[in-house]
């Protein structure tokens, strides 16, 4: 095809050469990004280009919200009554909580255990939900300028949503718990059974892998974070067991769970800004098992 | 007459560089819209449409390198693996450049199915990279974006042609 062009009209290398060059370049980029995580600086440079566009893309949604609020404010009175009732209930529970917290601190002091750090939270709004069907991620409108760090936990009013995986100056990327590469250490509330829950890459579906067929777990069991990983604070609701398939020909049961938090329902999320203190692991433990150190480094995904 | 049914081409004014840049930015904006559910599944890849349009009508100015750059921006916006969209857009631009003479002979309505095939090819490349990265097959409605892109192509390209229409007032003077 290109051979039909007159020679003196040609510019630069041929079409095929250019294609091969850019295909190789993108393959190298993909390998560098997926396997070695080298490209954070380049990503941050791109974020400054695309952040104004993302903000601008949100304008119609914000205007719609504002306008609908203005015209349909009739239900505000109802909402107010409801919120007052809710406030009363919450106050009652909060008083109990205060007493329990004081008692807990007292008991922990007696046991000389480490104090649980009270976590502060940063409120953030969902800036953008990517259209990529291969990963479950959202972008939030708070970044390293607001003190957001990778590894912090993101929750909504009901439970765990995900974890910050990349931070940019004014935005941050949250990997949802439903992402196929994401796992959360959990505990069954009913009997304290510990396990790790993993995302499946599908919406509203989580999986408990490697649970033996005869494990004591029931449909409807609620799962909360166990806190033993040092990343997720203990006691945050994560999921409810929705379906268990016990087939005695397999070693493990298939346990499917539904996450309790919904990212689709609300625009506001909370970033818990304090990480729980990790208990120091003695250095000998690393020297004995060198591969465990590697796993620690690549842990946040 | 062999050329009797050949579509009569309007002679368009030369394209300003600013129109290309603005159209690419606006389509990027459209791709970054916060959408959910069925709207997200049906939302076509506007950036790909704009790249294909410019590759066909202005092959000297918009080529594989522009497609690659837009792909990188899209990768950032989608928080996907770096280079995924860049690869797909480069290949789509290559096919469009290869056939740009043939494609520009057709009317917009007859171009649409051929553009649809190129869009499908691009989505297939994205799907392949996603599967190689260890993802599940996202379901057949993943390809719906190509279908809506095909249906939208005549409107989209006639919209981009409006600023290039010759101005008759200036001729009268």
By the 8 A CB rule, do A16 and B80 touch? no
pLDDT one-digit tens code per residue, A30-46: 888 877 767 777 777 77
Candidates A191, A210, A193, A192; CA nearest to A255 is: A210
Are B80 and A19 within 8 A, CB to CB? Answer: no
Cβ neighbours around A280 below 10 Å, total: 6
Domain that holds residue A6: 2-69
Structural domain includes residue A74: no
Q: How many CB pairs under 8 A join A and B?
A: 133
Whether chain B has a CB inside 8 Å of the CB on A49: the answer is yes
This prediction's pTM: 0.74
Which tens digit of pLDDT belongs to each residue from B25-70?
999 888 888 776 777 788 899 999 999 999 998 888 888 999 999 9
Q: How many domains does chain A have?
A: 3
Give the A window 233-262 contacts with B, CB below 8 Å: none
Between residues A277 and B69, the one the model is more confident about: B69
Burial of residue A106 (number of CB atoms within 10 Å: 0-12, 13-18, 19+): exposed
List the single residue in A33, A128, A134 with the smallest CB-CB distance to B138: A134
What b/e string do you get for A23-59 counting C-beta neighbours within 10 Å, with b at 16 or more? bebbeebbebbbeeeebeeebbebbeebbebbbebbe
CA–CA min distance B163, chain A (Å):
23
Report the C-alpha gap between A217 and A45 in whole angstroms.
47
pLDDT at position B122 over 90: yes
Distance CA A238, CA A270 (A): 15
pLDDT reading at A168 higher than 60: yes
Where do the structural domains in chain B lie, given as residue ranges? 17-164
3-state secondary structure of A151: coil
pLDDT of residue A270: 86
ipTM of the complex: 0.81
- The pair of three-digit structure tokens given for residue A185, joined into one six-digit string: 């250490």
| Residues A134 and A28 placed together within one structural domain of the fold | no
Assess if residue A23 is contained within a domain: yes
A180 has a chain B CB within 8 A of its CB: yes
Residues A129 and A260 in one domain: yes
Establish if A265 touches chain B: CB-CB under 8 angstroms. Answer: no
Say yes or no: A253 and A198 in one domain.
Answer: yes
A136 touches chain B (CB under 8 A): no
Regarding whether A123 and A191 lie in a shared domain, the answer is yes
Enumerate residues 199 to 238 of chain A having a beta carbon within 8 A of any beta carbon in chain B: 200-202
């Amino acid at each position: 095809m290109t051979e039909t062009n007159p020679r003196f009209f040609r510019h630069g290398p041929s079409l095929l050469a250019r294609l091969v060059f850019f295909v190789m370049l993108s393959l190298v980029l993909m390998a560098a990004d997926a396997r070695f995580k080298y490209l954070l600086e380049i990503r941050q440079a791109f974020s400054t280009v695309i952040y104004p566009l993302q903000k601008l893309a949100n304008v119609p949604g914000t205007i719609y919200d504002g306008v609908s609020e203005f015209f349909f404010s009739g239900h505000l009175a109802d909402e107010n009554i409801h919120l007052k009732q809710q406030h009363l209930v919450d106050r009652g529970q909060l008083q109990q909580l205060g007493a329990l917290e004081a008692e807990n601190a007292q008991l922990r002091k007696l046991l000389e255990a480490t104090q649980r750090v009270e976590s502060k939270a940063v409120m953030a709004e969902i800036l953008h939900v990517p259209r990529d069907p291969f990963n479950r991620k959202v972008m939030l409108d708070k970044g390293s300028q607001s003190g957001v760090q990778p590894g912090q936990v993101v929750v909504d009013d009901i439970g765990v949503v995900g974890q910050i995986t990349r931070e940019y100056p004014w935005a941050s990327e949250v990997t949802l718990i439903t992402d196929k590469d994401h796992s959360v250490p959990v505990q069954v509330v009913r009997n304290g059974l510990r396990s790790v829950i993993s995302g499946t890459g599908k919406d509203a579906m989580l999986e408990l892998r490697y649970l033996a067929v005869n494990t004591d777990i029931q449909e409807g069991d609620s799962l909360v974070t166990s806190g033993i990983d040092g990343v997720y604070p203990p006691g945050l609701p994560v999921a409810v067991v929705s379906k268990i398939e016990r087939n005695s020909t397999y070693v493990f049961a298939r346990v499917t769970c539904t996450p309790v938090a919904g990212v689709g329902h609300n625009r506001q999320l909370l970033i818990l800004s304090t990480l729980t203190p990790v208990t120091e692991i003695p250095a000998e433990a690393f020297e004995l098992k060198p591969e465990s150190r590697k796993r620690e480094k690549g842990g946040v995904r | 007459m062999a050329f009797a049914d050949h579509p009569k081409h309007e002679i368009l004014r030369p394209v300003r560089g600013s129109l290309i840049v603005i159209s690419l930015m606006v389509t990027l904006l459209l791709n970054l819209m916060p959408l959910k559910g069925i709207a997200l599944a049906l939302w076509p890849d506007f950036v790909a449409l704009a790249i294909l349009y410019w590759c066909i009508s202005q092959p000297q100015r918009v080529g594989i390198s522009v497609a690659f750059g837009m792909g990188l921006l899209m990768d950032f916006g989608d928080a996907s693996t770096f280079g995924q969209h860049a690869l797909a857009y480069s290949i789509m631009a290559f096919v469009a450049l290869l056939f740009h003479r043939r494609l520009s002979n057709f009317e917009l309505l007859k171009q649409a199915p051929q553009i649809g095939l190129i869009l499908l090819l691009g989505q297939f490349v994205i799907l392949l990279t996603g599967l190689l990265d260890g993802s599940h097959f996202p379901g057949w409605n993943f390809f719906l974006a190509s279908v809506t892109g095909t249906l939208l192509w005549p409107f989209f390209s006639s919209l981009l042609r409006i600023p290039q229409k010759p101005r008759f007032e200036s001729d009268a003077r």
